[in-house]
Chain A
């Protein structure tokens, strides 16, 4: 039960076109990742909605084959 980093990045970018995705494998086991996602689609959305959009892009893998993804989301104009 693990996911390749490039698959995670690809799915997020497919779901959120124009997003900038930075992904780090925290442990090196292909199972614990840390991601920062910056997307213009996040403008005006709450943090919960932003995270839900990333989870939606991962199409059900979060909590399943992708065990741990520490997520930080932001709109492009905020730092």
Chain B
């Protein structure tokens, strides 16, 4: 996959899906603790999301870092907007900011009891 194709694929993913997580591994089997932490936050919030496993595709793995000017994975996108990596997502979750943000964006949230 060329660089342009990788960028197009990334654009498609974040346009087609309300919530996209670029991660190592899959939501069911995360291959990295940081990716697992973000999956856990999204599960706690009951948010449906599209997981993209960067380990399956070196083009996406490199491309996503340039796409967002962000050097690490995981990366969370909501309605095409880059939200942050593990630290920011966790911080926003702990302050309640993430839940509010998702609601403001019209993303369905169902908090786990």
Contacts and interface: CB of A to CB of B under 8 A. Distances in A.
Given A48-B82, A63-B65, A55 B71 contact: yes
A62 B91 contact: no
A29 to B, nearest CB: 14
Interface residues of A, number: 13
Interface SS of chain B: helix, strand, loop or mixed? mixed
Interface SS of chain A: helix, strand, loop or mixed? mixed
Interface residues of B, number: 15
A51 B91 contact: no
Contacts, number: 31
B50 interface: no
Given A51-B70, A51-B84, A63-B65, 10 more contacts: A48-B82, A48-B88, A51-B85, A51-B87, A51-B88, A55-B70, A62-B71, A63-B72, A68-B34, A71-B87
Interface of B: 34, 65, 69-73, 82-88, 91
14 contacts: A47-B88, A47-B91, A48-B84, A48-B88, A51-B70, A55-B70, A55-B71, A62-B71, A62-B72, A63-B65, A63-B72, A64-B71, A70-B87, A71-B87
